[in-house]
Structure formats: structure tokens, C-alpha cells
């Protein structure tokens, strides 16, 4: 009566045995996989915040993709020096403007792709057609070329002519974003793994776990110092930092000051600038005085000192030093709360509805301590008599407010943005953020538009001088933005690796510049 | 038993369909993927091309029929992020989650039986009170806190364990499993202790004792079986929670499981992958519940008798 009718062993099997069997049955692939750490003999280990969604070369303007492939697996015709902004030869050895609309490139000889096909003018033409003129919907097409199609002509094996419908003084710079791929690449579909000419090629990609590169034995240039490179990804900044301090990784990127990398942390300028964009088509933000008041009441020095730990500098324009068009005599709005309050009071006296609720929109995790930054700004705006409500959004939701077409009937809002001009020329910023109808611009003036257009058509010193004048003009006549700070980034680097990050590192981390400390 | 299974399968089908449709519509409320997948400078034409290419311009009902038709053909669509089949991505990630969940549960069950029995054997003793306090604490502290503290103490401070990963051998399992096991261990210990206290005072145990059965034999052979049924039910619920909720731990430790894939898909508005993940999880929870019912029936004759063959 006390014994159940089924056997005792089956009874236990029901609880523990099922679990144990299921554990075995689920396949110990994870537990058993051998991890070639790549450390020690000739290997380098890098931890990134996220897995690249794809390594398709024409998606290289995506940060997560570009940081792995650009100049590592694939290479462009010319590359931009991150410090000087000058263009340097890569797969092209020389280039010149041969007519108003045409640039002619002389290509490097003796270069082959890792699948054995030669790199020549036909391959370059194939790549440009595929990335810019096709229906693939490549990231680089929209990011760099807008809706402009290029006319590509193979003159001979080592000469390529590229023409634009309108004269384009910075075409070589734009082409520095097009990573060359083998002619065996599908022209009708995006591919996950590119075949390039770079110092590395993909050895093994275990989706979700790690990505391994090995050096390209037939590389045309100097062989890189590391034979193998392993990328892994961890979402938590503190874990990434700990991996370097713990000896599990050699380099960790995208860290915040509080992530704990300690003395292994390296801060570097990263071309990113934070700013509040003012949606100026609705009251009270359509009143110039209110927009000026917002500018006067942001205490940039205190933000930089206390929240950004001095890893940033107060900004008076949307691009930092090193970008063509940067104004070295940058004027930063002074912190003057009483002046700001006076401006708001004046506007109120004139019947401007200053009590209208204004949303202050931030993107979660856009930069370290964004929440605190937003709170400080809200507090200051409240003090001068504006009615400001904070709204934090995730990336996708925030982007609906950042890019056209903007949502309608949403009331006035201030939008925190962070802009990184990785192309090195102010035109990429001005077109999007400053033209009245720019994709990320809430308003502008016809006069400002014509000044921008005129500046962008110029070359050399004239171009620089014309761009420089645009920034003070924007501050005085347009005031769409309250610039906050030129930012810095932090990476953690093991003492055994020699590497000097530069302003392009966040988008293009060149493995060939890394070497073991001897 | 077959009739029981058939009925169980049928009653579970409705929630499954509800989950299927729910995630479809909820995912679409979260925003337009075009914003994430196109460069901010994309022209309206490029935007339109993207929307058409991915069928996002069809009415939502048409998209739903399309999706349901695909599900019937086991075609779950393609990932917007990677271009891979959504089903492949979900199935690839799932074993990692199962391994994590099953190893965690195995340790929790064994641990809870040992600690719970030990505590129940001498109710209200010091050992019982300590285990009670610790298991209550364990059951109520959030995962992420343990995860972060674990990394700081054992990986960074002491350097005994890797911070994260799955490919560093068994050592890389310690922190994720230890983080996950704490809550189920705490809850199960309490359940086992409660069930064992009443089992140990049951008349048949007293009878066994009077016949000269030793302490160990009384606990392992006479009381545990009767205590097992409630523990199994709770363990089943906890297991569902583990499969469903390893999200935080998987994200922190870079564990390539379904929880992490789900979070990535939500943030990436990768509807097809999200839907495949949710469906796979729902089906596995459904199967798990049936297994629990069967286990429960096998353990407890009274339940089995209520189940018409």
C-alpha cells in the first residue's frame, strides 16, 4: 500500500534523470567548442559592444560593420588620414580631376583579392556600380552619395574615370567610403562575408559567439603584426572593461569612465558632438529669443567638468577640430541664466506662450550619463520659466523624431543629438543638419541655404574659409541648435599591445596599426 | 493518458495562437524598422524601396496572413539585420539557453533536496533558520545584481573566473549558472523543506521508523517521494522562468542564447527573428508543461487516477 506501483528508479528518473538527460541531449556543442583564444603566439583579442550584423562591404557605414571590415578585410581606393584630414593612397596610387565632372584614378598594380581574382579598374567599377548605382539599398549609398548615381568608365586596367552629374569637389573623399570587393561577389544580393584585398580575411564566424580573422598571405602591403584576431562582443561596458583588466581580451571599445578600466583606459577624441536640436516650427520655440535663452542657460563648462569627467570640450559648432570647415575661433555661448530669464520674460510680455509644455527628448545610452545631462538641462530650463518635460526613448523611437519626415502635431520639443562627422568634410554635416529641408534639420532660412550651397561648391582654402563663416552665422541668425560638447571616447588596452587610437577608431579600427609591445 | 495528452495539447493550442498573434502586433507597435536599417540620410525613394522590399507597405492584416501562412510552411521569414533565416537563427541560439537552463535546474534541484531535507529533518534548529533566511534572501534578490557583483568579485577582484563567454571551458559556465541558480535554489529549498516537514511527520514515516528504518533511509526512501510532487510543480514553473527569463544573464555574460537574441531583435526591430524566438519559446514551454504533468502523474498516484486513460 505504501509502495507506488511504479519502480523507485523511475520515480527518481522523473525528477533528476530527465534533467540530466535533457542536459546531455541538448547537445554540449557550447561546452565542447574549443576556443582558439588567439592570445599568446601572434594573436589579438578584441571585445566590441555588439556583433556586426553583417560584414557586407557596402554596409561599412554601419559602425558595427565598418569597425571590423574597413581597411582590415576590405580597402577603398583612397583613405582619409584621421588626424590631418588629408587623403592618402590606398588601392589608388594617384587621382586628379580631369574635367569639371570627372575624376580619374590610377590604380595600384599587382593587387589580388583573397579569392585570387585580380584587383583592376574593372573590379573597382564593379564595386562602385554595385554599392552606389544598384538597387541593393546599400548603407554607403544613402550615407555618402544621396541619390546621385555615378558614371564609371574603365579606361584601361589601371585607370578608372568616375563622373558625377554635377561637379563634385570632394568625390575622392566620398569614394573613400566604398570598400572594394571581388567581381565574384553577387551583384544582386548583399553578402554576409566580403572578399577584399585587406591585410586580413575572415577565418571563422560563429554567429553569436565570435569572429576570427587571419592575416592575408598574399597581401600587397606589409604583413600585419598579428596573425590572428578574434572579436567577441559583450553588451555591458563594465564586463568589456573587466575582460581587459582580467586578461581575457586585449582591447575593449566604447567604454564609459565608470566602467572601471582603470589605468588601462585610453581616452581619445572621436569626432562626435552633442547638441540640442530645437524644433522651431511651433511656439514657443519658433521665437528666436526662446532659442537664445536655451543656449544661454546650458552650463557647458559644468557639464563637461562634472558629468563628462573633462573628457569633452564645450562646443560652439557641430563639427570638431580636424574636419574641413571647422572654425578654430569657435564661439561658445556663455552661461548667463539671468540673460536667459530676461529673454523668456520679454517673450512672455510679447504674448509668446512660454508656458507651453516642451518635451526634452533623449536617447537612452546614446552617450555615458545622458540621463543626468538631460536632467541638469531640464532643471536649468525650468528655472528660467520654461515648462519642460523629459522623455527618454530607445534608438528607433528617437530616430523618428530625429529624421524627416518628423511626426506631426507633437508639440514643441528639444532633441538631444550626437553627430559624428566621420567623412571629414563639413558638407556631410551641413546638408543633413543645417539646410532648411535637410534630413535631420528642423528648420533653416533661404539665405542660410544659399550660403551653404555656395560654400560646398568651392575647393581648397576658399571652401575652408566659406565654411568657417557659416558657424557664427548659424548662431546669430538661425539658432536651430544649442551645441553642447565635442566628445571623447574611451577604450581599454592591455599593456601588451601597442596602439594609438585616433578620431576614426570608433568606425575604423585598423588592426595593422596594432602590434605587440616588445 | 493519451486522452489526457490530447486534451492538454488542445487547450494549449489557443494560448499558443494568442502568443503568435500577440507578438506579431506588439512588435509592429514598436516602430518602423526603416528608421534603423536605412542611413539617416536615406532619400524618400530609398525608404520606399526598403518598405516595399520587406513587405511593410501591405496592410497589417495582409502581413499577418502572410506570416501565418509562412508559419504553417515552417517559413518564418528572414532577419532584417543579418539576412539569415529567422528560424535558423532562433534554433541556433536555443540550445545555449537550454543548456544554461537545464544545468541551472539540475544544480537547483539537487541543492534544494539536500538543503531542504537537512533543514526539515530538524525543524526550527539553527540550521533550519539559517537555511530559511538564506533561501528567502536568494529568492528575492534580482539576477543582474548577482551577475555584476559576481563579475567584480570573482573575475576582476580574485581573478578566479572569466568575466563572460561560453567558449572558455567549464570555468565560463560558473558565473552565469551561479547567478541563475540562486533564485530557483532559494524557492525550491523552501518548497522541499515544507513538503519534507509534513512528510516526515506522516503516519507511514512514523511506522517505518518504528520498524527500525534509519534516518537516511527514512528521508531518501520514504519522505522524499511524497515531497517530490509539489517540488516538481514549482521546479517546472521555475524552469519556464529560466527559459523565458535568462535575458539579463545572457546579455551580461554574452551567452548566445535565445534571450539575448530576443533582446537584440527587439532593439533591432527585427520582427521575423523576434517572432521565431517567441514561438520557439512558447512551444518549448508548452512541451515542458506537458512533461511536468506527466512527471506529476507518475509521481502521484492520486493525480494519475484522476486522469482517464
Tens of pLDDT, residues A452-486: 999 999 988 999 999 999 999 999 999 999 999 99
Selected for mutation to probe chain A from B41, B81, B277, B289 (highest A CB count within 10 Å) is B41
* A chain contacts of residue B83, beta-carbon cutoff 8 Å: 54, 190, 192
Whether chain B has a CB inside 8 Å of the CB on A188: the answer is no
Tens of pLDDT, residues A161-220: 999 998 888 899 999 999 999 999 999 888 989 999 999 999 999 888 889 999 999 999
ipTM greater than cut 0.85: no
Q: Is the pLDDT of residue A25 over 80?
A: no
In order of A326, A327, A333, A340, A450, the CA distances from A330 in angstroms are 8, 5, 10, 21, 22
- A339-352 b/e with 16+ CB inside 10 Å = b? ebbebbeebbeeeb
Whether chain B has a CB inside 8 Å of the CB on A365: the answer is no
| Cell numbers given for A150 | 555615378
Phi, then psi, of B196 in degrees rounded to 5: -70, -35
Would the pTM count as exceeding 0.95?
A: no
Cis ω for the linkage preceding A284 (within 30 of 0) = yes
More confident residue, A91 or A443: A91
Nearest residue to A322 (alpha-carbon basis) of A466, A421, A462: A421
Q: Is the pLDDT of residue A365 over 80?
A: no
Cα–Cα distance, B130 to A430 (Å, whole number):
66
Position A110 confidence tier, pLDDT thresholds 50, 70, 90: very high
Selected for mutation to probe chain A from B109, B153, B165, B170 (highest A CB count within 10 Å) is B165
Helical packing angle, B258-267 and B86-121, nearest 10°: 130
| Predicted pLDDT of residue B42 | 61
Cα–Cα distance, A38 to A23 (Å, whole number):
29
First-to-last C-alpha distance (Å) of chain A: 78
Quick check: B260 and A18 CB within 8 A? no
* A chain contacts of residue B268, beta-carbon cutoff 8 Å: 53
Q: Which of A15, A28, A432 sits opposite B41 (nearest CB)?
A: A432
Residues 6+ apart with CB under 8 A from A236: B148, B251, B252
Q: What is the residue whose three cell numbers read 580636424?
A: A322
Cα–Cα distance, B246 to B240 (Å, whole number):
10
Q: What is the mean pLDDT of residues B220-228?
A: 71
For A257-303, the three-class secondary structure string (H helix, E strand, C coil) is: HHHCCHHHEEEEEEEEEEEEEECCCCCCCCCHHHHHHHHHHCCHHHH
Quick check: B81 and A53 CB within 8 A? yes
Tens of pLDDT, residues B29-81: 766 676 666 655 566 666 777 777 777 777 888 888 888 888 888 888 888 88
Q: What is the residue whose three cell numbers read 541648435?
A: A481
Kindly state the percentage of chain B with pLDDT values over 90.
2
Question: Which of 92-121 (A) contact B at CB < 8 A?
Answer: none
Selected for mutation to probe chain B from A6, A8, A17, A22 (highest B CB count within 10 Å) is A22
Amino acid at each position: 500500500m505504501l509502495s507506488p506501483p511504479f519502480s523507485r528508479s523511475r520515480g527518481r528518473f522523473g525528477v533528476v534523470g530527465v534533467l540530466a538527460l535533457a542536459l546531455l541531449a541538448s547537445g554540449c556543442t557550447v561546452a565542447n567548442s574549443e576556443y582558439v583564444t588567439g592570445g599568446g603566439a601572434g594573436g589579438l583579442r578584441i571585445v566590441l559592444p555588439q556583433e556586426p550584423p553583417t560584414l557586407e562591404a557596402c554596409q561599412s557605414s554601419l559602425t558595427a560593420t565598418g569597425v571590423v571590415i574597413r581597411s582590415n578585410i576590405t580597402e577603398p581606393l583612397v583613405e582619409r588620414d584621421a588626424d590631418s584630414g588629408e587623403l592618402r593612397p590606398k588601392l589608388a596610387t594617384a587621382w586628379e580631376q580631369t574635367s569639371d565632372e570627372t575624376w580619374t584614378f590610377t590604380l595600384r598594380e599587382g593587387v589580388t583579392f583573397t579569392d585570387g581574382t585580380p584587383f583592376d579598374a574593372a573590379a573597382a567599377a564593379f564595386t562602385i556600380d554595385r554599392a552606389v548605382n544598384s538597387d541593393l539599398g546599400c548603407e554607403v549609398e544613402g550615407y555618402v552619395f544621396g541619390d546621385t548615381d555615378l558614371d564609371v568608365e574603365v579606361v584601361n586596367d589601371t585607370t578608372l574615370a568616375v563622373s558625377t552629374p554635377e561637379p563634385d569637389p570632394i568625390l575622392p573623399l566620398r569614394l573613400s567610403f566604398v570598400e572594394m570587393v571581388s567581381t565574384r561577389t553577387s551583384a544582386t544580393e548583399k553578402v554576409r562575408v566580403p572578399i577584399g584585398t585587406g591585410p586580413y580575411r575572415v577565418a571563422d564566424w560563429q554567429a553569436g559567439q565570435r569572429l576570427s580573422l587571419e592575416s592575408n598571405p598574399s597581401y600587397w602591403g606589409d604583413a600585419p603584426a598579428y596573425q590572428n584576431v578574434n572579436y567577441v562582443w559583450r553588451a555591458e561596458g563594465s564586463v568589456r572593461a573587466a575582460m581587459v583588466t582580467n586578461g581575457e581580451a586585449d582591447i575593449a571599445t566604447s567604454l564609459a569612465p565608470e566602467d572601471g578600466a582603470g589605468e588601462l583606459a585610453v581616452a581619445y577624441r572621436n569626432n562626435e558632438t552633442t547638441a540640442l536640436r530645437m524644433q522651431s516650427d511651433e511656439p514657443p520655440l519658433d521665437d528666436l529669443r526662446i532659442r537664445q535663452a536655451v543656449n544661454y542657460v546650458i552650463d557647458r563648462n559644468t557639464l563637461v567638468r562634472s558629468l563628462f569627467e573633462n573628457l569633452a570640450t564645450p562646443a560652439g559648432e557641430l563639427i570638431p577640430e580636424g574636419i574641413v570647415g571647422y572654425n578654430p575661433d569657435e564661439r561658445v555661448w556663455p552661461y548667463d541664466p539671468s540673460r536667459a530669464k530676461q529673454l523668456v520674460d520679454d517673450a512672455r510680455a510679447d504674448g509668446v506662450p512660454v508656458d507651453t509644455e516642451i518635451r526634452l527628448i533623449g536617447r537612452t545610452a546614446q552617450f555615458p550619463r545622458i540621463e543626468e545631462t538631460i536632467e541638469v538641462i531640464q532643471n536649468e530650463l525650468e528655472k528660467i520659466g520654461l515648462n519642460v518635460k523629459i522623455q527618454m526613448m530607445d534608438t528607433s523611437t528617437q530616430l523618428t523624431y530625429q529624421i524627416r519626415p518628423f511626426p506631426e502635431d507633437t508639440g514643441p520639443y528639444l532633441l538631444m543629438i550626437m553627430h559624428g562627422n566621420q567623412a571629414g568634410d563639413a558638407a556631410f554635416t551641413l546638408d543633413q543638419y543645417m539646410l532648411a529641408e535637410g534630413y535631420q534639420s528642423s528648420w533653416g532660412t533661404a539665405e542660410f541655404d544659399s550660403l551653404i550651397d555656395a560654400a560646398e561648391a568651392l575647393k581648397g582654402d576658399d571652401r575652408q574659409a566659406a565654411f568657417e563663416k557659416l558657424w557664427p552665422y548659424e548662431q546669430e541668425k538661425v539658432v536651430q541648435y544649442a551645441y553642447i560638447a565635442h566628445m571623447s571616447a574611451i577604450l581599454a588596452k592591455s599593456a601588451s599591445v601597442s596602439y594609438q587610437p585616433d578620431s576614426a577608431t570608433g568606425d575604423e579600427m585598423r588592426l595593422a596599426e596594432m602590434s605587440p609591445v616588445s | 493518458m493519451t486522452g489526457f495528452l490530447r486534451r492538454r495539447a488542445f487547450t494549449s493550442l489557443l494560448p499558443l495562437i494568442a502568443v503568435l498573434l500577440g507578438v506579431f502586433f506588439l512588435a509592429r507597435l514598436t516602430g518602423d524598422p526603416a528608421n534603423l536599417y536605412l542611413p539617416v540620410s536615406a532619400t524618400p525613394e530609398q525608404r520606399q524601396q526598403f518598405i516595399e522590399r520587406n513587405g511593410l507597405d501591405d496592410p497589417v492584416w495582409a502581413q499577418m496572413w502572410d506570416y501565418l501562412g509562412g508559419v504553417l510552411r515552417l517559413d518564418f521569414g528572414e532577419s532584417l539585420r543579418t539576412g539569415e533565416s529567422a528560424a535558423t537563427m532562433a534554433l541556433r541560439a536555443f540550445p545555449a539557453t537550454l543548456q544554461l537552463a537545464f544545468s541551472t535546474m539540475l544544480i537547483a534541484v539537487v541543492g534544494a533536496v539536500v538543503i531542504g531535507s537537512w533543514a526539515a529533518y530538524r525543524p526550527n534548529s539553527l540550521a533550519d533558520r539559517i537555511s530559511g533566511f538564506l533561501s528567502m534572501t536568494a529568492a528575492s534578490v534580482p539576477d543582474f545584481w548577482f551577475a555584476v557583483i559576481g563579475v567584480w568579485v570573482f573575475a576582476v577582484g580574485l581573478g578566479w573566473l572569466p568575466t563572460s563567454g561560453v567558449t572558455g571551458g567549464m570555468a565560463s559556465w560558473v558565473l552565469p549558472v551561479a547567478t541563475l541558480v540562486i533564485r530557483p535554489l532559494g524557492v525550491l529549498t523552501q518548497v522541499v523543506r515544507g513538503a519534507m516537514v509534513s512528510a516526515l511527520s506522516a503516519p507511514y514515516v512514523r511506522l517505518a521508523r518504528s520498524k527500525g528504518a534509519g534516518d537516511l533511509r527514512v528521508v531518501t526512501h520514504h519522505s522524499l517521494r511524497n515531497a517530490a510532487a509539489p517540488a516538481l510543480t514549482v521546479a517546472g514553473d521555475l524552469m519556464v522562468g529560466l527559459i523565458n527569463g535568462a535575458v539579463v544573464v545572457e546579455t551580461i555574460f554574452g551567452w548566445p542564447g535565445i534571450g539575448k537574441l530576443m533582446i537584440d531583435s527587439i532593439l533591432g526591430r527585427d520582427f521575423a527573428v523576434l517572432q521565431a524566438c517567441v514561438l520557439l519559446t512558447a512551444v518549448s514551454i508548452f512541451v515542458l508543461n506537458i512533461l511536468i504533468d506527466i512527471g506529476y502523474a507518475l509521481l502521484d498516484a492520486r493525480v494519475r487516477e484522476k486522469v482517464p486513460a
